Structure 1
Amino acid sequence: MNQIQQWLQEYPLIQSIIKYLVVIAFILLCLQFIRKFLKQKISNTSVRYKSQKGIEILGYFTIAAITILYFTGSIKDFTITLGLLSAGLALTLQELILSIAGSVYIFVVKVYEPGDRIEINGIKGDVIDVDSIYTTMMEIGQWVDSDNYTGRIVKLSNAFVFKGPVYNYSQDFPFIWDEFNLPIRYGSDIELAKSIIINAAKNILADYTKASKNQWESVVKKYYIEDAILDPTLATTLTDNWVKFNLRYIVDYKKRRHTKHLLNDSIRKEIEATNGKVVLASETIELIKTPEIQIDIKNKNT
């Protein structure tokens, strides 16, 4: 033991580094203990997650401040050292610094948070974690139809919040507008077809419409935006082959595919129950005139 103490006295730099590492290890252990304590005591998932992230960010700042003060040796050199350190890091670690700045921006401005469905840098998914460098998403879309999970977990640099638009499907207004077209054959009872589609939409979408109206009022008060029609609307267009019915409606952003299925299935059953008064159209080809074909056969002696 005496030999170790003597050796450390001969090399004060090593002694200083060991003391520094002990202090940092103690801080990390404290952070780990606090995170486990919060995990056990806080039952609400959202509050627990935000508390743990807050402790993590506080720990990073504490370690950075201790590191600068420890190696400068004086508080008066803190500003100068911080400036020189920032200039050096800005040149060598631009992407990393931008990612950390992006995490602070996401947290302060609340661009998105875990549980939100977003699209950023061409990638769409549900946010499942936001740390100091990366945003982690459960991907949707790609080779899978509609808004279904692909099973891939995507890690995206937080720096992308400064490089392009961020589409948020759920912030402030967790509803989206959707639509689909129905072709109705000419000669069908058009008024009956309208009533079938509108009634199906009102019955299936009643809860979404009511909830969205309450949410939309707060959006109009918060942002400079005009009021919008939240009830299902139906528009008709005359085409060469059929009457096109376009149904536009509002739906929960996570239930778009299932809601469209319910609407289509209900409308199909009601149309079949009309016994031919309303008929769904399909693309057909009508031959106006059959072309004349002349065949000239000459017998040749061989």
Structure 2
Amino acid sequence: MNLQQLLNGFVEQLQASDSLLRLTISTIVLVTIVFFARWVLRRYIRRNINSSDLRRRWLVQLRNGLLLVLLFGLFMIWGNELRTFALSLVAIAVALVIATKELIICISGTLIKSGAHAFHLGDRIQIKDYRGDVIDQNLLTTTILEVGPGKNMQQRSGRMVVLPNSLFATEPVINESYSKDYVLHTFTVPFKRTDNWRLAQQELLRVAQEYCRDYMAEVKRHFDRMSYRTGLESPSVEPRVTLQVEDPEDITLVVRIPTRTEGRNWLEQTILSDVFSANDFSRKPDA
């Protein structure tokens, strides 16, 4: 069986060599004929055409015509091999694209986030379930210090997350630090409908106004500058507490406060601590 395989391989090599030899001989014959015809015709033109302009024109046309004949002849001789070679190149290109697909998507994501100026070092971003402060970015990856757990926490978990930049080509990015120095920070406080949530609403608003009062003018100027730069209407920056009802038995108080970017966790925890340490909202006051 091994001897038969060797014989078959030897025959195939002979056939390939014979085919290559025929193609090479045909190419040499074609080139020889073209160059001989060029030599003969150039001599004829030089001897029989007296006008220098006409002679030059015929020599140029002869050169171009014989070049086309040579290229056409080579294509006819090597056409099958060229098609096979082209198919091989296409197969290699497809395999290369498949093998490097993730790499290509990562580079595309880098171009997208750079072109959109989506975020910068130090910004707090969220993409899919990943949320944190950006500490490094390069052509293929972006590194963040995770903030959490959950979307409502404002403290770092101590973990570092390396994100492939391919995410930025397919997923939306939330930049929580877009307004830089000051942000409008939001947090929620859930209650049962049987709890004294009205008192909680009043107390949360009162304490939030107390802590934000000293820098409200500075916050307003900051967002006015942003509004002028972006062409958008300046938002209301005063602390507010609104209601959200997602379940008939529950009420959620949504607290929004202006705060410095780096101090949002401290201010949120301080407000909650002051309100809940001084009040009991587990039942409504007697009518």
- What's the TM-score once normalised by structure 1's chain length? 0.49
Equivalent position to 2:239, from 223, 232, 240: 232
SS of the aligned residue for 1:230 comes to: coil
Q: For residue 165 of structure 2, what is the amino acid of its counterpart? A: N
Equivalent position to 2:184, from 151, 168, 176: 176
Equivalent position to 1:164, from 160, 163, 171: 171
The residue number in structure 1 matching 2:263 is 255
Q: For residue 216 of structure 2, what is the amino acid of its counterpart? A: T
The residue number in structure 1 matching 2:282 is 282
Shift of residue 131, structure 1, vs aligned partner: 0.9
The residue number in structure 2 matching 1:96 is 103
C-alpha separation in 2, matches of 1:217 and 1:235: 24
C-alpha separation in 2, matches of 1:91 and 1:244: 49
The 5-angstrom pairing of residues 66-215 of structure 1 reads: 89-142=96-149, 146-173=153-180, 174-181=182-189, 194=202, 197-207=204-214, 209-215=216-222
C-alpha separation in 1, matches of 2:190 and 2:218: 27
Report % sequence identity: 21
Superposed CA deviations along residues 200-231 of structure 1, whole A, max 9, x for unmatched, are: 22221235534432332233234454332211
CA 1:207/1:89 → structure 2, altered by over 3 Å: closer, same or farther? farther
C-alpha separation in 1, matches of 2:249 and 2:151: 31
TM superposition outliers: structure 1 runs of 4+ over 6 Å: 85-88, 182-186, 240-245
C-alpha separation in 1, matches of 2:224 and 2:252: 32
Shift of residue 136, structure 1, vs aligned partner: 0.8
Q: Which runs of 5+ in 2 are unaligned?
A: 1-91
Aligned length: 189
Q: For residue 102 of structure 2, what is the amino acid of its counterpart? A: E
CA 1:87/1:217 → structure 2, altered by over 3 Å: closer, same or farther? farther
C-alpha separation in 2, matches of 1:244 and 1:151: 29
SS of the aligned residue for 1:267 comes to: helix
Kindly indicate which of the two structures has a greater share of residues assigned to helix: 2
Shift of residue 199, structure 1, vs aligned partner: 4.1
Superposed CA deviations along residues 157-179 of structure 1, whole A, max 9, x for unmatched, are: 11211101000011234413314
The residue number in structure 2 matching 1:29 is none
CA 1:126/1:86 → structure 2, altered by over 3 Å: closer, same or farther? farther
C-alpha separation in 2, matches of 1:166 and 1:233: 26
Superposed CA deviations along residues 20-62 of structure 1, whole A, max 9, x for unmatched, are: xxxxxxxxxxxxxxxxxxxxxxxxxxxxxxxxxxxxxxxxxxx
Contact 2:108/2:169 (CA < 8 Å) preserved in 1?
no
Equivalent position to 1:265, from 260, 273, 282: 273
C-alpha separation in 2, matches of 1:266 and 1:90: 59
Select the structure of larger CA radius of gyration: 2
CA 1:201/1:161 → structure 2, altered by over 3 Å: closer, same or farther? same
C-alpha separation in 2, matches of 1:248 and 1:145: 13
- What's the TM-score once normalised by structure 2's chain length? 0.51
C-alpha separation in 2, matches of 1:228 and 1:222: 14
What value does the CA root-mean-square deviation take over the aligned residues? 4.2
Q: Mean Cα displacement is larger for which, 119-128 or 244-253?
A: 244-253
Superposed CA deviations along residues 283-302 of structure 1, whole A, max 9, x for unmatched, are: 58xxxxxxxxxxxxxxxxxx
Q: For residue 112 of structure 2, what is the amino acid of its counterpart? A: Y
Contact 2:109/2:165 (CA < 8 Å) preserved in 1?
yes
Contact 2:125/2:176 (CA < 8 Å) preserved in 1?
yes
